[in-house]
Structure 1
Amino acid sequence: MTGAADRGDPLVIFFGTYDTTTHPRVLVLAQGLRALGATVVECNAPLGVGTAERVTALRRPWRAIPLSVRLGRRWWTLARAARALRPGRGGPDVDAVVVGYLGLFDIHLARLLFRAVPLVLDHMAPAADTAADRRLGGGGRRRLLRAVDRAATARADVVVADTSEHRDALPGPVRSRTVVCPVGAADAWFAAGAAAPPPDADGPLRVVFFGLYTPLQGAPAIGAAAALLAGRPVRFTMIGHGQDEAATRRAAAGADVRWRSWAGAAELPALVAGHDVCLGIFGTGAKAARVVPNKVFQGAAAGCAVVTSDTAPQRRALGTAAVFVPPGDPAALAAALDRLATDRVELARVRAAGHHLAQRDFTPARAAAPLWPWITGAAT
């Protein structure tokens, strides 16, 4: 990539149907590039359809028809908005176009609209991986999604992965132009951590989980751990809904759990910061072994102690600043939480260590830093 070195601050367009309220990774990269000195312009028309709805369309092909119509309308909006941004047509010199997460189709439109501009694809989770995690059966569907992944990464000049495990799973030609940017946490999570009230040393251990109850997250193991802790000074808040929610509720029968369907993006950081412990993921599938989920970055930034599964990428990212348990092991999770409930000195240590690590390594600027040389033309 070239262009920014001789002109001062680079201009980066964030493009696509992404939604930062449901996938904050895009927001973190945008905030990070701004903090590093880029001028960031958004050309965004959120599709308004989450991953679950997209997976449903694969299971029931007739559901893909309204999804395609909606996508076409969003693309029309994007194409009109992009006119003023296209170099050579009265628009400014653009150093890069970043296609936000879930932009596997958006990148083809971006290539048509910005023919001479380097394209960056945020490929945090391949579609084929997501389908496998959501237990989407059928080899034909998996092959189709692998083809979608290949076509999208082939269009990109630079691919962004979230862990080295995801990068290493890509084909060799793609891997050579892939940069690893951790998910990180948006600015609002650090602000929530700074504004959080002091912990209540005499009350129960306040434990929070938030997510879409996908198999990756292993929420039924959390429910079973909560049941094992019934009668202990541990109180759970479970935020979200999704695939494994019913199984989680059954597993948690009799436990001290507060259930919430969801919390908006503006409310969630402060809500999480009001807890002692933020839970990560506990799934046992292949995808769970390759990711560091946004909730561990966000929980640490909000000042919570992080408890999550003991996988290579999570241990590499968090080191001694988290409590690790074997994936899918409710008894081990319950024991870890019980220890934190009774040893408030250790709880304070883990909270402080995680927050310090987040302030050092999980800020938007640190998350986006590996991409910066590709934006400025300094990468070789």
Structure 2
Amino acid sequence: MRVLAFGTYDVKAHPRVQVLIDGLREHGLPVSEIVEPLGLSTAQRVSFLQNPASLPRFVGRLLRRWSVLALRAVRLRGAQRPTHVLVGYLGHFDVLLARLLFPRAQIVLDHLIFAAGTARDRGAGDGLRTRLLGLLDSLALGAADVIVVDTPEHRELVPARRRDSTVVVPVGATSSWFEAPGAPEREGVNPLSVVFFGLFTPLQGTRVVGEALRILHDRGVHVRATLVGAGQDSDAVHAQVDGLPSVTWQGWVDGAELPALVASHDVCLGIFGTTAKALNVVPNKVYQGAAAGCVVVTSDTEPQRRALGDDAVLVPPGDAEALANALAALAGDPATLADVRRAGARRARERFTARAVTEPLVEVLTR
């Protein structure tokens, strides 16, 4: 059994792929890689696909990467040819190339997002472009032998005829998050430290975060907050928090430095959006924050409740008042903060490691 991780994925931008690779290797499966990163974020890819004028540039970039991938793939001979090809996250196009280059291999697609659903979540309607993205989803799923999703809710979005070929593998966290040095135990009146990192999309509900921080400030509750990143809703959040002395905003932090930054805080914020997609996901920051030893505060949705149980603080989606109350309660109760922190870290070590989350995939591949 020889597994090849293949495509234009970028583990620095999307560490999910690295979790799958590491997990398979820790289960004893040999995994090699042929990868040529496309160098585009999820937002940039969706923007390219939504804007016809920019589509030729996207296609040109993709074809240049594909030419290198194909050249490297055809050099594999005999015992070097893979029996299984893992197409990494955002592989809607790459899976089509993999199907052509490796017709005898079992193609495994990590279909973490649906292109049409992501476009809708970011404000696109149900017009022609969204329907074309839906067609892209269908083509990608049709080219795969095994489809990997992250939640049972996303499995239900796969066409019924392909659900038997679909396996749920939680996002998990890479080892760097478990190894990051954690925040020291709080003492006395030390302010609660809170971190949020992300692309400031409607799914993440960052306007709720901004409003909650404003509420805490107006109440006189001192919480030190670090916001990392930028995106669709960042201007609105700036309008809510600019001028608050307790809020620090950073541009995007390099992936190698992010675990230590997050681990230096007491609380890692998850997502608080109310979109359909927000109710169906467990974001990577939830797994990563728990692995880094933070208390995770996120929205009370079925997937997140299932993943976190009682080892996190859950608040209603879209409810800034509830988020502010939860943070104020943690700020005033260091003992509870420490208890939840330890419980979340223990759950992460037991369930969120690469080895743990990939067990269902290994079972499928080794049948």
Secondary structure of 1:43 counterpart: strand
Partner of 2:182: 196
RMSD over aligned Cα atoms: 1.1
Q: Is the 1:227–1:253 Cα contact (8 Å) retained in structure 2? A: no
Partner of 1:4: none
Partner of 1:3: none
Name the count of aligned residue pairs.
363
Q: Give the unaligned 5+ runs of structure 2.
A: none
Q: Give the unaligned 5+ runs of structure 1.
A: 1-9
**C-alpha separation in 1, matches of 2:2 and 2:259:** 30
AA matched with 2:222: P
Corresponding position: 1:151 with 2:139? yes
- Displacement of 1:93 in angstroms is 4.7
- Displacement of 1:348 in angstroms is 0.5
**C-alpha separation in 2, matches of 1:95 and 1:162:** 24
Secondary structure of 1:15 counterpart: strand
Q: Is the 1:299–1:306 Cα contact (8 Å) retained in structure 2? A: yes
- Displacement of 1:199 in angstroms is 2.6
Corresponding position: 1:358 with 2:348? yes
Secondary structure of 2:197 counterpart: strand
Q: 1:249 aligned to 223, 238, 243, which one?
A: 238
Partner of 1:322: 312
Quick check: 225-234 or 71-80, which moved more? 225-234
Q: Is the 2:311–2:340 Cα contact (8 Å) retained in structure 1? A: yes
Corresponding position: 1:227 with 2:214? yes
Quick check: 304-313 or 35-44, which moved more? 35-44
**C-alpha separation in 2, matches of 1:169 and 1:90:** 38
Secondary structure of 2:137 counterpart: helix
Partner of 1:5: none
Partner of 1:263: 253
- Displacement of 1:91 in angstroms is 4.5
Secondary structure of 2:32 counterpart: strand
- Structure-to-structure mapping, 1:107-186, within 5 angstroms: 107-186=95-174
Partner of 2:40: 49
**C-alpha separation in 2, matches of 1:29 and 1:90:** 25
Partner of 1:67: 58
Secondary structure of 2:304 counterpart: helix
Q: Is the 2:120–2:126 Cα contact (8 Å) retained in structure 1? A: no
- Displacement of 1:138 in angstroms is 4.5
Q: Is the 1:159–1:178 Cα contact (8 Å) retained in structure 2? A: yes
- Displacement of 1:201 in angstroms is 2.0
Secondary structure of 2:158 counterpart: coil
Q: 2:334 aligned to 304, 324, 344, which one?
A: 344
**C-alpha separation in 1, matches of 2:84 and 2:255:** 27
Q: Is the 2:225–2:247 Cα contact (8 Å) retained in structure 1? A: yes
Q: Deviations over 1:8-42 (max 9, x none)?
A: xx321110001111111101000100111111111
Secondary structure of 2:358 counterpart: helix
Q: Is the 1:217–1:283 Cα contact (8 Å) retained in structure 2? A: yes
Identity of matched residues, %: 54
Secondary structure of 1:73 counterpart: helix
Q: Deviations over 1:113-135 (max 9, x none)?
A: 11100000000111111101111
**C-alpha separation in 1, matches of 2:341 and 2:318:** 23
Q: 1:239 aligned to 228, 237, 253, which one?
A: 228
**C-alpha separation in 1, matches of 2:365 and 2:159:** 23
**C-alpha separation in 1, matches of 2:224 and 2:183:** 17
Corresponding position: 1:187 with 2:178? no
- Displacement of 1:253 in angstroms is 3.9
Partner of 1:284: 274
**C-alpha separation in 2, matches of 1:41 and 1:69:** 27
**C-alpha separation in 1, matches of 2:138 and 2:280:** 19
- Displacement of 1:183 in angstroms is 0.2
